[in-house]
Amino acid sequence: MFLKNAWYCAGWGKDLSMAREELQTRRIAGEALLLYRDVDGKAVVLEDRCCHRQAALSCGKREQGGIRCMYHGWLFESGGKCIEIPGMEIIPDRARVRAFPVVERDGWIWVWMGDADKADPDLICFAVGPDDPDWLLNTGQMSIKSNYRLEIANLADLTHLAWTHDKTFGGTRAYADARIKYKLTKRGMNYEFWMRDAPAFNVFAHLFPEGMRFDFHFDVQMTLPCNFVMRFRSFTAGTVTEGESDGELLLDTYTCQAVTPRDEGSLDYYYSWGPHRDTQQPGITQSLMAWAHEAFLEDKQMLEAQYLRVKEKPDHPVVDYIHDAGPGKLLWLLDKLIDDERTEDAEASSSRQGTAFV
Amino acid sequence: MFLKNAWYCAGWGKDLSMAREELQTRRIAGEALLLYRDVDGKAVVLEDRCCHRQAALSCGKREQGGIRCMYHGWLFESGGKCIEIPGMEIIPDRARVRAFPVVERDGWIWVWMGDADKADPDLICFAVGPDDPDWLLNTGQMSIKSNYRLEIANLADLTHLAWTHDKTFGGTRAYADARIKYKLTKRGMNYEFWMRDAPAFNVFAHLFPEGMRFDFHFDVQMTLPCNFVMRFRSFTAGTVTEGESDGELLLDTYTCQAVTPRDEGSLDYYYSWGPHRDTQQPGITQSLMAWAHEAFLEDKQMLEAQYLRVKEKPDHPVVDYIHDAGPGKLLWLLDKLIDDERTEDAEASSSRQGTAFV
Amino acid sequence: MFLKNAWYCAGWGKDLSMAREELQTRRIAGEALLLYRDVDGKAVVLEDRCCHRQAALSCGKREQGGIRCMYHGWLFESGGKCIEIPGMEIIPDRARVRAFPVVERDGWIWVWMGDADKADPDLICFAVGPDDPDWLLNTGQMSIKSNYRLEIANLADLTHLAWTHDKTFGGTRAYADARIKYKLTKRGMNYEFWMRDAPAFNVFAHLFPEGMRFDFHFDVQMTLPCNFVMRFRSFTAGTVTEGESDGELLLDTYTCQAVTPRDEGSLDYYYSWGPHRDTQQPGITQSLMAWAHEAFLEDKQMLEAQYLRVKEKPDHPVVDYIHDAGPGKLLWLLDKLIDDERTEDAEASSSRQGTAFV
């Protein structure tokens, strides 16, 4: 079950060249897609399925005018319209493949999987891109064989950092004591919390004097389906117990993450992390990415094993606890958005039937 | 969905020896088969399933008298009749495995997958075998993870040579301009066409002076399900625009191909190609087979990707065009033959019921 | 379909250490299980599924107090009760994972997969363990992709030794002539038979003078689901034709085997074999295990191929013969026990409904 009228991340723009062979494929929300740049450099997303007999356009060939299906030579321009059928002089109007609205922003390629008329670029989530001059972000990607809702729940409750990420971002159980306010937005959820007077994370404890204490601030914006943008700051431990730390700011970072479901059982995970230019140090950008990658492999293992169990017993009872509040709210909102979309579709189709009647 | 009362190719006779270990397996039209030669050298096809408890006879052992199931030692003669049950003196009449009618002809082993009473060797398609003294045919085999109907459609419309086989048999878009007459036969379809004043195929362009032109003739006989026999001739480009070319005959070849569905999602593809003795040149037989193999790998990639797409959206609309005429007619005939067979079966079983009534 | 109220073998106790990392997983009768030793060395079996959100406990960590789920840090003691939820002061009573009764006996770990209240250690089958001072048993394990009922049938009819094990325990067709009495017990079946004046098994024929004859005695106790314990003795061929052989006892052995279904399509096979101390010779213990392993690979190939065929045609007719008596009786008993269990469950749940009514 996927939200259709939504922007899904199809990867980093910098990873898509204009080379003739650069015919990339994606699966997003169950749809097989072809991704390439047209002659103007604009990213194009077409359904990877020729309208003639369902040959894969990704087995095709880029030409000046578009993409040619190499089964029978039909040529499609970037909008999906067929503009040449070898052997035919007239091209039927139905000869078109589905084209998906695409926007490039903040280094990411965004694809609208629903009704093209409703594609609203204002719905694209805020993010800091790898090209931002103020932030020095490196990027990574990972494929995870799990349902994207489990990944959403993972990102909406960071207390798992103490456990799942014991070897990386763990080192304290104080995560569990954070009392976090989750604020639903129209299409997402924000939350932030402080961990004060905390020990170093295990992954970078070796860089600081033993016993040194820190204030950590996590400021998260999640947008459905499903992006996670977090500003994370480390201070030397200060003295205040409310509001901004009065310690020294050691590190100011942004991590921007996109979760794109391929289908019900797999997803692509795109992520970046890096420091603000002002808190940069030699090697820190590379280290953050190495730590992120290690940590996300820990998530991957957990989410894949969890998904196997959920598939075995989809109706197994659950036991709720305090830190389910974040995942619970966000998944509730996702369900609501999906429901609303279906109701809207049903009404639209019934009103269309009405029109046909008159 | 398969035609049952039909001959399916089970491979080349030359690849089946009389060695004791030569217990080959096949899957044809969904049935698991055991294939071996009996003491007289006759090819035998039995269901690969002991009648006792479904052990695989292919885990068994060849003996003088037949094939022994090595689970409990039951021995079956080549007709499928059980002739020994260790521990039993009387062998029940029901103790038999299904034997399938087999004919060897033109180098191929043919198996009848339907009602044995209806097995008519006259229905075996015309072919030129690798042992024919006039033709120097080499052979090849390939497994393809696709539905056999997609392969039939592929072979019933050769305009794809311009595109799918761009690197091999392509080099001109003139294929698409060929106006081809498809003639349905009782159990297949014939078609032929000329491509005149055409450039060399890409795969052998290096063998001829640059810019040299040719007349090519394709003469195809397809038989359901599913064989493709083509006489292909190359001439120097002549002057006539209708009928036989008045150019010089450079190469006269036969290619005989058999498509055997394993099940709905995979098939075995057997093929041969080679020149007539009179137009032979050193190396040409080997080259033709190398080119065929390369080209069929191009088909394999296309057909496997197409099948994945078709499975994703079995009801996706199609857009027809002029060159669907061949595939359309032939698949229509296949559907009709399958329907007829079912009607016949239903009538037979209802008339049997009638008989029981009296 | 599995018997739930029954002891299933989860492996050899000697293969489960107290090391912190020793978190083993099993699948038994469709359930995903976690297996480890607690601080007292007692084997513990829990469902491998956190009660919170189905994370795999086997991705967790052993602590002094039990097993900690490393997704959100919930801690469970060996009885399955949750004793810590980070961030919560009160632990809901529902926060528990299913614990399965475990008994270690005769070197094996036994798990009760049904209602814990009904777990009766007296139902554990008789076996001779690898630690028995009188018997020198080596052990082995194998995974088989087949249904466990086919393995039961295999063990309940040893006439297949002549055929399937032609290269190992074969060498004579006399197995088929054995007239065997199968005696059903409450939860199993016993049978025994002599093969007199028989040639050496092929696997050890090289150890004896050519043409030497033997009396072999097979004494089998099978218990559902599904254990096979056999005392097997070899004598020099004697003169009597009924009862105990009057030949010289050459070898007296026990083999104890446990078949544990993972699910409908796979099973774990645990086995031991070895001589009585009194008939031991240098190398014999090792040889018996090597022969067993070779023979069980023969079974594995047969059972896996058979299972593929059975899945293809689950309703294919069978042909019965005399040696199906053993498998037939034992599988009939298994079906009956499963039926009884279901009837009991249905009655229990209907009486519970009654209670709720009042």
- pLDDT for A358: 43
A69 preceded by a cis bond (ω within 30 of 0) = no
CA angle B91, B94, B100 (to 5 degrees): 115
Model pLDDT for residues B26-59, shown as the tens digit of each residue: 999 999 999 999 999 999 999 999 999 999 999 9
Q: Which positions ≥6 away from B41 have C-beta within 8 Å?
A: B18
DSSP states of A118-166: G--GGGSPP---TT-TTB--EEEEEEE-S-HHHHHHHHT-GGGGGTTTT
Spell out which residues of chain A touch residue B162, defining contact as CB-CB under 8 Å.
73, 86
Contact between residue C153 and residue B53 where contact means Cβ atoms under 8 Å apart: yes
Dihedral sign, CA of A320, A325, A330, A333? positive
Tell whether A305 is within 8 A of chain C (Cβ): yes
Spell out which residues of chain C touch residue B87, defining contact as CB-CB under 8 Å.
159, 176-177, 321-323
B19, with CB counted inside 10 A (0-12, 13-18, 19+), is: exposed
Contact between residue A225 and residue A261 where contact means Cβ atoms under 8 Å apart: yes
- pLDDT for C358: 43
- pLDDT for B345: 87
Spell out which residues of chain C touch residue B85, defining contact as CB-CB under 8 Å.
321
- pLDDT for C350: 73
- Give chain A's mean pLDDT: 95
Model pLDDT for residues C157-215, shown as the tens digit of each residue: 999 999 999 999 998 999 998 889 999 999 999 999 999 999 999 999 999 999 999 99
Give the minimum alpha-carbon distance from B315 to chain A in angstroms, rounded to a whole number: 11
Q: Helix C148-155 crosses helix C325-357 at what angle (to 10 degrees)?
A: 140
Interface probe, candidates A33, A54, A75, chain B, greatest B C-beta count within 10 A: A54
Model pLDDT for residues B94-120, shown as the tens digit of each residue: 999 999 999 999 999 999 999 999 999
- Give chain B's mean pLDDT: 95
pLDDT band for B352, please (50, 70, 90 cuts): low
Considering chain C, what percentage of its residues have pLDDT values greater than 90? 94
Q: Which chains contact A through at least 3 pairs of Cβ atoms less than 8 Å apart?
A: B, C
Report the pLDDT averaged over residues C28-32. Answer: 98
Residue type, B121: P
Model pLDDT for residues A83-134, shown as the tens digit of each residue: 999 999 999 999 999 999 999 999 999 999 999 999 999 999 999 999 999 9
pLDDT band for B290, please (50, 70, 90 cuts): very high
Model pLDDT for residues A31-47, shown as the tens digit of each residue: 999 999 999 999 999 99
Q: Which two tokens stand for residue C6?
A: 């029954």
pLDDT band for C334, please (50, 70, 90 cuts): very high
Nearest neighbour of C73 by CB, restricted to A153, A162, A305: A162
Which ranges constitute the DSSP H helices of chain A?
Answer: 148-155, 284-312, 325-357
Nearest neighbour of C49 by CB, restricted to A160, A173, A309: A309
Spell out which residues of chain C touch residue A160, defining contact as CB-CB under 8 Å.
71-72
Q: Which chains contact C through at least 3 pairs of Cβ atoms less than 8 Å apart?
A: A, B
Residue C307 CA to residue C148 CA, distance in Å, equals 10
With CB atoms and an 8 Å threshold, state whether B176 touches A49: no
Q: Which chains contact B through at least 3 pairs of Cβ atoms less than 8 Å apart?
A: A, C
HSE at residue A252, side-chain half, CA atoms within 13 A, is: 9
Residue C31 CA to residue C49 CA, distance in Å, equals 10
Q: Which two tokens stand for residue A33?
A: 């897609």
- pLDDT for B358: 43
Residue A312 CA to residue A320 CA, distance in Å, equals 20
Give the minimum alpha-carbon distance from C3 to chain B in angstroms, rounded to a whole number: 23
Model pLDDT for residues B144-158, shown as the tens digit of each residue: 999 999 999 999 999
Name all domains of chain C by residue range, CATH numbers in brackets.
7-122 (2.102.10.10), 126-335 (3.90.380.10)
Q: Which two tokens stand for residue C301?
A: 């190939």
Q: What three-state secondary structure class fits B333?
A: helix
Tell whether C87 is within 8 A of chain A (Cβ): yes
With CB atoms and an 8 Å threshold, state whether A159 touches C48: no
Report the pLDDT averaged over residues B146-172. Answer: 96
- pLDDT for A311: 98
Q: Which positions ≥6 away from A343 have C-beta within 8 Å?
A: none
Task: Give the torsion through C-alpha atoms of A132, A135, A141, A144, to 10 deg.
Answer: -120
Residue C338 CA to residue C1 CA, distance in Å, equals 8
Considering chain B, what percentage of its residues have pLDDT values greater than 70? 98
Spell out which residues of chain C touch residue B67, defining contact as CB-CB under 8 Å.
none
Q: What three-state secondary structure class fits C198?
A: strand
Task: State ipTM.
Answer: 0.94
Contact between residue A37 and residue A147 where contact means Cβ atoms under 8 Å apart: no
- pLDDT for C342: 93
Residue B207 CA to residue B202 CA, distance in Å, equals 10
Contact between residue C73 and residue C83 where contact means Cβ atoms under 8 Å apart: no
Considering chain A, what percentage of its residues have pLDDT values greater than 70? 98
Asked if the model's pLDDT at residue C354 lies above 70, the reply is no
Q: What three-state secondary structure class fits C228?
A: strand
Interface probe, candidates B321, B322, B323, chain A, greatest A C-beta count within 10 A: B321
- pLDDT for A353: 54
Residue C160 CA to residue C182 CA, distance in Å, equals 16
Asked if the model's pLDDT at residue B214 lies above 60, the reply is yes
Asked if the model's pLDDT at residue A356 lies above 50, the reply is no
Asked if the model's pLDDT at residue C347 lies above 90, the reply is no
Tell whether A318 is within 8 A of chain C (Cβ): yes
Q: What three-state secondary structure class fits B87?
A: coil
Dihedral sign, CA of C89, C92, C95, C100? positive
With CB atoms and an 8 Å threshold, state whether A52 touches B312: no
Report the pLDDT averaged over residues A179-190. Answer: 95
With CB atoms and an 8 Å threshold, state whether B56 touches C306: yes
pLDDT band for C87, please (50, 70, 90 cuts): very high
Nearest neighbour of A71 by CB, restricted to B164, B310, B312: B164
| The total number of residues written for chain A in this structure | 358
Q: Tokens 């009956």 label which residue?
A: C336
Asked if the model's pLDDT at residue C356 lies above 90, the reply is no
Inter-chain Cβ pairs, chain A and chain B, closer than 8 A:
78
Contact between residue A28 and residue A260 where contact means Cβ atoms under 8 Å apart: yes
With CB atoms and an 8 Å threshold, state whether C318 touches B54: yes
Model pLDDT for residues A196-251, shown as the tens digit of each residue: 999 999 999 999 999 999 999 999 999 999 999 999 999 999 999 999 999 999 99
Dihedral sign, CA of C131, C132, C133, C139? negative
